[in-house]
Structures are given as C-alpha cells and as structure tokens.
C-alpha cells in the first residue's frame, strides 16, 4: 500500500465463512460468499450509492441526475430521446441522438455544462500542455470530436481531453461539485438553446412577477382585513366605553366619539403652547382638526378623584342642551385612561379677562356689557325654564362665561350641574362644591341649592361687571366686607 491508494479493511466474525467484495464493470459493489455445499461463490448482496452509479444507465448523450425528484435521466441540450416511448416508460439505455447533425463547418459550436462527472474515456484523447481555447479549436477542427474539457481542473484548469463518438455515463452533481465540459452541437442548436434560455428567463420573470403580484395582493388583502377588523373592534370598544361611562344616556345622545390620536395631533400632543387654561378638573387646550376647524379640548386630569362623575354629568347635559348662549359640545374621547371633552373654540377667551384685566377693560364698553349680561340671562332662563331638563348650574362665574368672535356670551363648564324634575324647586347636598364668592349663603351654609342659587351667582357677575372688581378680592378702608357686602 502507498499514499496514492485507498483501501478498506474488515474482519469476519465467523472465520469459517469465506467472502469477497467485487466492484463489477457497471460500478456496482457486490459481496460474494463461498458455499461449501455447492462449491461456488454466491451473491450475498449488491450495493449502489445511488441509481446513477450504474454504468451507462441513461445511455449515450444523456445525463443522470442524483438530485432529480422525478426522472433521473435527461437528454443533453440539442439532443432528443432515441425512442420517445421507451424513454417515457423509464427505459433510458438507448439514450439520445442529435436533433440536428453536425455540419463540420464554421457553424458548429459548444454548449457548456458545469458540475458533472466527465463521460467515459474509453474513446478519448488527452494532452497535458494545451490550454482550453486550444483544446476547443482542436475539437472544432475534427469532425469526429463530440466534446472537450480541461484535463486538470486544479489552479484554473489546464490540459485537454477530447471525446470522439458517443458520450456515455455522464452524471450531474450539485453546482459546487464536478467539472466543466463543452458539448459540440450544430449552429441551429446554439440558437435554440439561446432562445430556450431566453424563454426560460422570460418564464421565470413571469412567474416571479405573478408571484410578486399575488403576494402584494395577499398582503393588501390581509392589511384591509386587519384594518376592517380593527375598525370593527374599535367601534365595539368605543360603544362599550360609551356604555360603561355614559350608560343608556350616552346611547340616546349619539354623541361623536373622537380618536385619541386625532385629538393628540390636533393639540400638538397636548403642547403647553396650546394650553388655554386650567379648570377644576383638568387643563383646556386649543386644537385644530385636519379640516382647519378650531376646537377647545378639555382634558380630565388623571389625578382628579372627583372628575369622572362631573365628566359624565357634563357630557350628558351639554349634549342634550341646544341654545345660542350655551357652549356647544362637539364630541368626547374615552380611550385608555383619557377622558376628554371637545368644544367649539371661543376665540375671545372668558369674561373675567375683560372685567378684571386693565387692558381688557378698555375693550368692554357699556353696550357690550349689556349685550353680554343679556345673553347670560337668556342662557340661564333656558336652563331653568325652557329646556327639557331643568338644570341648576351651581358654578356660574365670570371665568365660565366664554365669548365668541362677536362677543356673544356662552355659559360653559357643566361639571357640577344638577337636574331637577318639573315639580322640584330645591335640593340638598352634603358635598358643597363650587366657587366661594359666587355661591349663595344657604348653599354655602346648609348645602341647599335651587334656581335661586344660580340667580345669586348671576347677581354677583352683574355686580362685578358694573364695578370691575372681584367679589372676594374687594378691599375697603372702612370695613372688611366683600364687594357684595359693601353694596
């Protein structure tokens, strides 16, 4: 044995049994066992690594593929089965023949195959010194030459091998294995192969485009389905939220529900630059919807322990009230931990700015004062007598009187409001809420409130407008009374 040889050694368990391995001319490994009774060698088993190991399985001018999932034999490019019937029946031993005979002229060319086991070399010739281009030229100049290849594939390839006659026992490997060979074909077959290659490319491109269109369509369909499902879920969720927070009253109102994302975008994510003020239950922001409509956004503070009840009251009451001197509720947002009211925007702020601010007082002449106080009176009359529900505001004050472009007053902030029945004149509460200085004495002392409570607050507003002084901030050198006590 030397380093250029490969051998296999084994030991028999039963030394009395003689056996031998044979590699037959077809490339099949066989094991024979000596049978003393018949005094002969009998085949114990034979072994093929794969079907392509069988010599000349596919016949001449065809290749055997170990990676094929169907037929393992295929004619080379430019060749067709000798017997199509036998070939389709799986009998490939007759192999393939040329579709177009060689012209043995300038028109013949070569088709390159990669990753194959070279054909049987029984009818071949080789030269160790030639280059591949010289090898091709030599084959092209010999009418009997059917194929050529490098003799040595190492270091980029060198030498030359020429085949004459039939090409037998070609086996295809993966692209990473095997060698390159150049099969000689007629000129017309080169065009056919090229057209077929272009056709295959077009076919592949068509398949890829069709697959891409299908995948895009499927993706769009899935997105639309998910979006539709999400919108349906959002609708149910919003309805559930409205039912949870507003109950049956919310269902009857059909009040628009705004999405939190829309409100956040309108207020620049509740930017401090858009903040209009701070109420008892949370901040108020100016916002602009996509269409350009300006809105006022009242955001219920998460730290407000009493806010939910007032929020619900304000939504239910204002949504049902329709009067030119009451602020209009455009909708609400009940999402996650957020409870938000969306009102029409009042560009001229609130009444207290014009009464108590030195610069604002210059803009408020007596005709405007009369116009404003008349509007507040009409709004209060509507709440007490003309609306379907008798409403006691309980927090009527200058900062809750908002002014539009034409200085028309609108009563706002109904978070503390209470509804009365048609035959009810007053009520009592243990929880006195509101703004001191505007609350009536009986409400402050005993928790008793009625329409008269709002009338008392209206009187304080009227007195503040006339005097341009705050009720609780009033100081007199001769006594300690507030503005109301002074007059």
The C-alpha atoms of residue 373 and residue 369 are separated, in whole angstroms, by 6
Residue whose C-alpha is closest to residue 339's, from 364, 314, 374? 314
The C-alpha atoms of residue 293 and residue 385 are separated, in whole angstroms, by 33
The C-alpha atoms of residue 460 and residue 469 are separated, in whole angstroms, by 10
The C-alpha atoms of residue 355 and residue 361 are separated, in whole angstroms, by 6
Pairing, β 124-127 against β 179-185: unpaired
3-class SS of residue 354: helix
Residue whose C-alpha is closest to residue 184's, from 121, 142, 156, 151? 142
Q: Is 395 a catalytic residue?
A: yes
DSSP 8-class letter at 385: I
Start-to-end C-alpha separation, the chain: 131
- Angle in degrees, CA 379, 384, 390, rounded to 5: 120
DSSP E strands, 118-250: 124-127, 145-149, 160-164, 170-172, 179-185
- HSE at residue 89, side-chain half, CA atoms within 13 A, is 8
Helix (H) or strand (E) segment spanning residue 359: helix 358-361
Residue whose C-alpha is closest to residue 330's, from 399, 248, 412, 394? 412
The C-alpha atoms of residue 107 and residue 329 are separated, in whole angstroms, by 89
3-class SS of residue 224: helix
CB 307, CB 282: distance < 8 Å: yes
CB 196, CB 121: distance < 8 Å: no
| Pair of tokens at residue 122 | 């029984």
Three-class secondary structure assignment of 51-87: HHHCCCCCCCCEEEECCCCCCCEEECCCEEECCHHHH
Which among 108, 169, 395, 413 is annotated as catalytic? 395
The C-alpha atoms of residue 417 and residue 371 are separated, in whole angstroms, by 25
Using the CB atoms, write b or e for 78-117: b if 16+ within 10 Å: bbebbbeeebeeeebeebbbbeeebeeeeebbbbebeebb
Q: Which residues contact 86 (CB under 8 A, 6 or more apart)?
A: 92, 94
Residues with active-site annotation: 395
């Amino acid at each position: 044995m030397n380093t250029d040889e490969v051998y296999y050694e084994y030991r028999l368990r039963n030394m009395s049994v003689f056996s031998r391995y044979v590699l037959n001319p077809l490339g099949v490994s066989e094991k024979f066992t000596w049978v003393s009774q018949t005094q002969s060698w009998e085949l114990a088993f034979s072994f093929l690594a794969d079907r392509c190991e069988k010599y000349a399985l596919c016949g001449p001018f065809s290749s055997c593929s170990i990676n094929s999932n169907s037929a393992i034999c295929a004619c080379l490019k430019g060749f067709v089965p000798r017997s199509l019937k036998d070939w389709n029946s799986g009998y490939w031993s007759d192999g393939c023949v040329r579709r177009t005979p060689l012209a043995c002229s300038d028109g013949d060319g070569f088709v390159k195959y990669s990753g194959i086991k070279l054909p049987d070399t029984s009818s071949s010739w080789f030269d160790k010194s030639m280059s591949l281009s010289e090898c091709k030229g030599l084959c092209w100049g010999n009418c009997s030459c059917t194929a050529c290849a490098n003799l040595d594939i190492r270091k980029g390839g060198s030498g030359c091998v020429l085949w004459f006659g039939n090409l037998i026992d070609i086996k295809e490997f993966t692209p990473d294995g095997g060698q390159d060979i150049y099969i000689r074909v007629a000129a017309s077959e080169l065009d056919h192969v090229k057209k077929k290659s272009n056709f295959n490319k077009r076919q592949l491109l068509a398949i890829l485009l069709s697959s891409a269109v299908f995948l895009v369509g499927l993706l769009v369909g899935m997105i639309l389905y998910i979006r539709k499902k999400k919108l349906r879920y959002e609708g149910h969720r919003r309805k559930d939220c409205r039912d949870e927070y507003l109950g049956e009253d919310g269902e009857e109102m059909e009040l628009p529900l705004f999405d939190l994302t829309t409100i956040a975008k309108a207020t620049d994510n509740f930017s401090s630059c858009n903040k209009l003020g701070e109420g008892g239950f949370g901040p108020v922001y100016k916002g602009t919807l996509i269409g350009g409509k300006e809105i006022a956004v009242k955001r219920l503070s998460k730290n407000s322990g009493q806010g939910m009840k007032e929020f619900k009251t304000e939504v239910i009451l204002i949504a049902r009230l329709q009067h030119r001197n009451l602020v209009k509720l455009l909708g609400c947002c009940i999402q996650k931990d957020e409870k938000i009211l969306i009102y029409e925007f009042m560009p001229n702020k609130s009444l207290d700015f014009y009464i108590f601010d030195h610069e604002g007082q210059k803009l408020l002449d007596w005709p405007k004062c009369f116009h404003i106080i008349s509007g507040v009176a009409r709004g209060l009359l509507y709440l007490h007598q003309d609306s379907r529900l008798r409403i006691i505001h309980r927090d009527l004050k200058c900062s809750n009187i908002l002014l539009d472009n034409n200085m028309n007053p609108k009563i706002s902030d109904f978070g503390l409001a209470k509804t009365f029945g048609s035959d009810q004149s007053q009520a009592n509460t243990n929880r006195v809420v509101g703004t001191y200085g505007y609350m009536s004495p009986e409400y402050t002392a005993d928790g008793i409130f009625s329409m008269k409570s709002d009338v008392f607050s209206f009187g304080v507003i009227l007195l503040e407008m006339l005097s341009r002084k705050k009720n609780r901030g009033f100081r007199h050198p001769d006594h300690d009374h507030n503005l109301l006590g002074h007059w």
